[in-house]
């Protein structure tokens, strides 16, 4: 006899077969003694809202949202959290009192992975964020809240990076502690930079943390940075996961940086989602270790 489940959840996207969320959430449920029913849901690209409403009408309690629907999840929900409104994107939905509520745990998941799992101190650091799409937008506020001193957003289309930097200048000024500097630059300026011009175009010096939030690796394209972009002891972080050593991570490893992919971010945002739905936060360490062992290895350079 099957153990009765204690709630219905899903992850919605297009495509969706690649998602590891069902396995992660199932482990959390087992760990907390609350077996949950968590499935993958493929929505037509033009049928996101109908699919979401159908799932909740069928008794679903919560869902994670992945590409390409995160922006739509923010605008179609009945109630969006301040974090969702700032990010313009949501990755988590739940039904409360007949209304669909939206949250975004991507940035919290990233910051927790960086600080808790990877031991990176963000306060006072210089961070380079590659990309200006939904993935980048969702992590800016949490990075600023963590006390980043300078955030440079570098994007293939410079104007999008500048617009994003402008949009977040206010939260940089109003976050706790000294105001952070947020600027938008062209990705090509960072890629082409020798150490001197990295200084003049993007601030004074190399970066302590470099985060790839572009979709370049997903399309098989390459973003590679020069060694001058990485400060001694820097961490290079690819938000995508399961791609092994992408050209971005390889260029970082060659420069002597530590490298990590976004599996930890995925697991941490999953734990935040679980807690938001069910009131208890699962422990992430064992689940992260288990799933990391199933992915292509990231070659680490010696410290």
For ligand ATR, the closer of residues 37 and 113 by Cβ is 113
Least separation, in Å, of the C-beta of 213 and ligand ATR?
Answer: 6
User: What minimum distance in Å lies between the beta carbon of 76 and ligand ATR?
Assistant: 16
| Block residue for tokens 């006390």 | 147
Positions 212 through 241 that interact with ligand ATR (CB under 6 A)? 214-216, 219, 221, 223
Torsion angles phi and psi, residue 221, rounded to 5: -85, 170
Residue 179 C-beta: closest distance to ligand ATR, Å: 25
| Positions in 28-67 near ligand ATR (CB under 6 A) | 67
How far apart are CB 2 and ligand ATR at their closest, in Å? 37
Place of tokens 């955030």: 151
Q: CA-CA distance, 251 to 113, in Å (whole number)?
A: 22
Q: Could you say whether residue 134 binds ligand ATR (CB under 6 A)?
A: yes
Q: Which 3 state secondary structure label does DSSP give 130?
A: strand
Question: CB-wise, 31 or 224, nearer to ligand ATR?
Answer: 224
- The contact mask relative to ligand ATR for 143-182 (x = CB under 6 A, - = no) is ------------xxx--x----------------------
Nearer CB in complex with ligand ATR: 69/274: 69
Antiparallel, parallel or unpaired: β 99-103 and 92-96: antiparallel
Q: At what angle do helices 263-278 and 21-31 cross, to 10 degrees?
A: 50
Least distance in Å: CB of 46 to ligand ATR? Answer: 17
Q: Which contiguous run of DSSP H or E holds residue 152? A: strand 150-155
Residue-wise DSSP of 272-298: HHHHHHHS-PPP-HHHHHHHHTTSPPP
Nearer to ligand ATR, 24 or 239 (CB): 239
* Chain residues 74-103 in contact with ligand ATR, contact rule CB under 6 A: none
Specify the residue, 36 or 65, whose C-beta has the smaller distance to ligand ATR: 65
| Among the residue ranges 1-9, 26-34, 132-140, 200-208, the one whose residues contact ligand ATR (CB under 6 A) | 132-140
- Which residue among 62, 107, 109, 133 contacts ligand ATR (CB under 6 A)? 133
Residue 94 forms beta bridges with which residues? 62, 101
Query: 36: exposed, middle or buried (C-beta count within 10 Å: 0-12, 13-18, 19+)?
Result: buried
Distance in angstroms (rounded) separating the CA atoms of residues 149 and 140: 12
Identify which of residues 13 and 60 has a Cβ nearer to ligand ATR in the complex. 13
Which residue in 70, 126, 137, 243 is the catalytic one? 70
Burial of 232 per CB tally in 10 Å (0-12, 13-18, 19+): exposed
* Backbone phi and psi for residue 128, each to the nearest 5 degrees, phi listed first: -110, 125
Considering only 74, 127, 135, 151, the residue that binds ligand ATR (CB under 6 A) is 135
Number of residues this chain uses to bind ligand ATR (CB under 6 A): 18
Q: Which residue is nearest to ligand ATR (CB)?
A: 133
CB of 67 to ligand ATR, least distance (A): 6
Look at residue 230 and give its three-state secondary structure. Answer: strand
Please say whether the dihedral angle defined by the alpha carbons of residues 125, 146, 132 and 274, taken in this order, is positive or negative.
positive
70 is annotated as an active-site residue: yes
| Binding-site ranges for ligand ATR (CB under 6 A) | 67, 131-136, 155-157, 160, 187, 214-216, 219, 221, 223
Q: Which residues are catalytic?
A: 70
């Amino acid at each position: 006899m099957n153990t009765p489940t204690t709630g219905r959840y899903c992850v919605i996207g297009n495509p969706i077969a690649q998602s590891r969320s069902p396995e992660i959430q199932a482990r959390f449920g087992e760990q907390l003694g609350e077996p949950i029913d968590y499935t993958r849901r493929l929505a037509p690209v033009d049928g996101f809202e109908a699919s979401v409403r159908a799932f909740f009408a069928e008794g679903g309690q919560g869902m994670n949202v992945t590409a390409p629907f995160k922006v739509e999840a923010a605008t179609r929900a009945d109630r969006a959290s301040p974090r969702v409104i700032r990010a313009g994107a949501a990755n988590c939905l739940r039904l409360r009192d007949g209304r669909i509520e939206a949250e975004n745990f991507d940035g919290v998941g990233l910051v927790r992975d960086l600080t808790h799992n990877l031991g990176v101190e963000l306060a006072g650091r210089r961070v380079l964020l590659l990309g200006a799409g939904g993935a980048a937008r969702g992590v800016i506020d949490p990075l600023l809240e963590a006390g980043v001193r300078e955030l440079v957003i570098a994007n293939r289309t410079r104007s999008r990076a500048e617009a994003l930097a402008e949009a977040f200048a206010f939260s940089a000024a109003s976050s706790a502690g000294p105001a952070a500097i947020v600027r938008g630059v062209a990705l090509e300026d960072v890629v082409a930079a020798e150490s001197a011009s990295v200084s003049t175009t993007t601030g004074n010096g190399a970066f302590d943390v470099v985060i790839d939030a572009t979709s370049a690796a997903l399309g098989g394209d390459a973003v590679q940075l020069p060694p001058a972009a990485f400060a001694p002891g820097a961490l290079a972080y690819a938000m995508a996961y399961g791609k092994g050593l992408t050209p971005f991570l390889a260029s970082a490893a060659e420069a002597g940086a530590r490298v990590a992919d976004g599996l930890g971010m995925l697991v941490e945002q999953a734990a935040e989602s679980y807690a938001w739905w069910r009131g208890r936060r699962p422990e992430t360490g064992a689940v992260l270790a288990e799933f990391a062992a199933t992915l292509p290895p990231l070659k680490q350079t010696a410290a």
